[in-house]
Structure 1
Amino acid sequence: MTVVAPPTLAPPPPPGAYKDPKASAVASRAWRWLWLPLLILVLVIAGASVVFIVDLDSSDTGTLNPHSYRPDGGNALRVLTEQYGTPVDTPSTSADALKAGLGGDVTLLIPDTAPLSVRTIQSLKALPPSTRVVLLAPDRGALHVLFPDLDFGDFPATSPVAPNCDAPEAKAAGSIDFDGAGYLPKTIHAAHVTSCYQGGLLLVSDSTGPEFALLGDANLLTNEHLTGYGHAALGINLLSTHSRVEWLYLDQPESASSEGGDGSQALFPPWVDAASLYLILAGVLVALWQARRLGVPVPEPLPVVVRSAETVEGRARLYRRAGARKLAAESLRGGALARITPALGLGADPDPRALIIALAQRSGRTTQEIHRLLYSPPPTDDQGLLALATELDRLVDDYLTQLTIGRAGADQGNNPEGPQQ
């Protein structure tokens, strides 16, 4: 009977000195799956932040924007008008402004006619006589639509400029620091035309349409210049003749078909909306169907017989080509543990510390050596990886040899008389 002396055990490594290869492999696989979604999420958040910052910086900008505090904004005029008892509404579309103007007793302020379509400008002439339309520095295109015969006059020769007219709005305001183009009232064929400030302000009205107030210099009513001379009084007087003000400010040009309530939908039949909704729902269902979770892989017979050695060599070549020494080392260690741990009685996922101690007792090696083979950092070159594979094979062979000897001794101890003849 051969007696095997128990191995000399070295002190176990301190806690935290080893790493579980299975946990490392799981973390590596999780990172490979998650890095792209995380990158997309970061890019989406960064893009949304940039868009939000740019939109925040560009909001409330533009000449005579009723909510802008910038020098060219119109917030001061809006606040003063409301403080003097005339509420100010800011419709977001020209259709809403025109609808409010059709009700009468409204002052429709348009600080910029450039974004308006020709159709919208033509609709201004259809408003009732009880509506006033205030146009600030209208462009020549809008003036040609409203007043085809209107001509521009010369710039005022002196500043400030006195009203020199009977209009109560201008007389109460007094002189202004006018620096804009004027208009020649004699070319307009209307029932009543009043020219103030040497043609810088033109009031046109008749019995068939609204009253128009054309101001040649829009900068007079901005936040920066509203405190000069009678600018604030002139702006408040022009806007306070009716019960409320509709301040139409558009920061984007509107299309010719955007007015009239239907917009671009008028170009399509009524069933297009329902069909589009059904197509969107169908696309979502197809996406969910294609993105369903895959089940367990189904084994299929190979068309040819592939020897296991060829499979191992092919996989090794792939690891070598990709430089995946860490993954190869984890595979070698995992294979060694799969052959060793079932006979140790420590369960399918043993504690690394208990595994090292148990394996050292049964293989005749020290705990430091086992810890180096199973939990040390992976090799950095091919020679180190080859040495690791060789040492892991020796560890498994030593363990299996000791396990066989131990079982033989146990069987002999249970049967002291030897085998029966």
Structure 2
Amino acid sequence: MTGTAATSTAAIGTAVREKGRLRSALGWLAIAAAVIVFALLIGALSFGAPDSRGALDPESAKGSGTLALAELMRDQGVEITVTRTRTDAIAAIRDDSTLVMADPFSLSDEAVEALIEPADRTVFLSSASRLLRLLDLGENAAPPTSGALDARCDLSEFANVGAVQPDRFFSPADGVTGCFQSDGAAGLLVDDRTGDLTALIEGVRLFGNEHLAENGNAALGLALLGQTGHVVWYVPSLADSDLEAQSPDTLATLTPEWVTPAILLLLLAGIVAGISRGQRFGPLVTETLPVTVRASETMHGRARLTAKAGDAAHAAAALRDGSLRRLAARLGLTARSTAAEIADAASDRLRIPRGSLHQLLDGPLPGTDAELVDTARRLAELEAAVDTAVHVERNTE
């Protein structure tokens, strides 16, 4: 009997040890599978190609695209040739062509001058301080207090445009015609001093699909782009840049070569330490708490109190605070960054005027429900635009 009991005890011990080994192996397999799935997910998010057609793209149907303006011009009998490289744009220019483009941020000064040289008529649909300097058109100016403006210039093509509300204003240089003026600041610059016509306007909001039907925006677009029978629409992109050799240093190029292996080794050591410490005390035990309050209930309760009080400013402050925290994270800023710093970083990333973003992120809070809805929509559009721009930059890098 004693020998049988000892044999049975040994068999039970062996079975327990085998079961423990099996559970340990399954645990490690589960951890490895989770790491692989996480790596695949990160890869999909990093290398997934977002819509690369952005603002002022004549083939984009998004709110900031200009597909509606392009189709309106085609209905008026204007032939449009969309090009995405400088070589194709120069080859497509004819005697009756108007060269149209947004700010060619990806081109050097020499490349911009070579691109516009064969065109008798050039229209820039977004502005930059570099273009003002390069083309000697004038300087940036503070926006006037007035709203929508009439042309107020001697150019006949803009006589019947109607009132528009430009996003950016300029002080024209000597010999440059300024249209849609107020207090000495012009929303449109037209230069024909050399015989060739060059026009510059900040048209992201004027000519985008979302706002084309407002005021005289559509008429202004036709007046600017429809004076000839053929339009060559060049879409700037980083893929067509001639500035690749001048890319700035990054954190990876400035750090020593041993930093990355050291970080990976520390990360691996942390994972191993976490797993080893987590297994010392056995499995987790679920403990029932006295009361469970879901986060969604708290959120809806606070929303109902705010709605009942009619406090639009308080609701807008909460929306703005959340947008600032998310924008700071997407733009690589710290949690302590001010609203002005976040607005500057977002405007630099999106290449849009800083004044509108300062007003949205750091300006007075809305006082009515209609203004609250408009503020929430603009905050959502800004976050989506920044998220798209960050994804595009990561993929091009």
TM-score, L = length of structure 2: 0.46
**Greater RCO, CA 8 A, separation 6+:** 1
Larger Rg: 1
Q: TM-score, normalised by structure 1?
A: 0.44
